[in-house]
Amino acid sequence: MSESRLQQNDPCGTAAWYRGVTRGIARFFAMSVLMVLSGPIPAVDLGDWAQRVQQYERWTAVEFRDPYSGQYLASRAGSEDPRARATLTLTANPGEDCLPEVVIVIEHDAAILGRIDHADTLRWRVDGGATTALPIRRIWEPGDRFEFLRFERPFDLAGLTGHRHLLIRVAPDVRAEFSLRGFDGAWHAARSVCENFIPLAE
């Protein structure tokens, strides 16, 4: 979506806020959504912004609001593969017409020194179905332990509904498996809040 369209659809400035902290919200999930209930989160403390946390089997839905004004900012559904230290997140943002932005966050043992930002291919398989190749962008900032795999084209959620597992692989080092139990409920909750968003009067 272009910058001008974002501004037209986002009179409250939600898109600008979202761009500024989207990686912080992703870290929030990558370090386990349950941590919001137990105290500050390293690097970005979003505990005060997470106004509602709902569990749907293996998935979690979180709603983010400005803690001072109550302004709705974004909502996110996410699930983790603890063994791979990977988190799959889908974000609904009013500035993007509530279409899902899909990001996989990988936690590494150590921070990187240089910056990584390049196109790559992710291989994706649902249950025992065929493998699909999808374009992604790998982003890893200097001094950060978290690498972001951002999907580069619109995401079809129909292929996940009613299934059990999602296996992803990015050569040579990324491999993760996410349970789809609770996916429908978590994403429905996140999307519904976004679609029913009413801007606060100034």
Task: State yes or no: pLDDT of 29 exceeds 80.
Answer: no
Mean pLDDT over the full length of the chain: 78
Helix, strand counts (H, E) of the chain: 3, 10
If phi > 0 it is left, if psi is from -120 to 50 it is alpha, else beta; for residue 118 that is beta
For the cut 50, the answer to whether the pLDDT of residue 162 exceeds it is yes
Please tell me the distance from the alpha carbon of residue 164 to that of residue 159, in angstroms, as a whole number. 11
Identify which has the larger pLDDT, 200 or 78. 78
Residues linked to residue 133 through DSSP beta bridges, in sequence order: 123
Pairing of strands 72-81, 59-65: antiparallel
Beta-bridge mates of residue 89: 78, 103
**In the structure, what pLDDT confidence band is assigned to residue 59 with cuts at 50, 70 and 90?**
very high
Spatial CA neighbour of 124 closest among 84, 151, 89 = 151
Per the model's pLDDT, the better-predicted residue between 97 and 189 turns out to be 189
- Reported as a pLDDT band with limits 50, 70 and 90, residue 79 is very high
Alpha-carbon gap, residue 47 to 201, rounded angstroms: 25
β-bridge pairing 174-179 and 132-140: unpaired
- Mean pLDDT, range 16-26, rounded to an integer: 45
pLDDT over 80 at 3, yes or no: no
Domains annotated for the chain, with CATH where assigned, are: 3-195 (2.60.40.1880)
Q: Are 191 and 98 in contact (CB under 8 A)?
A: yes
**In the prediction, which pLDDT does 198 show?**
67
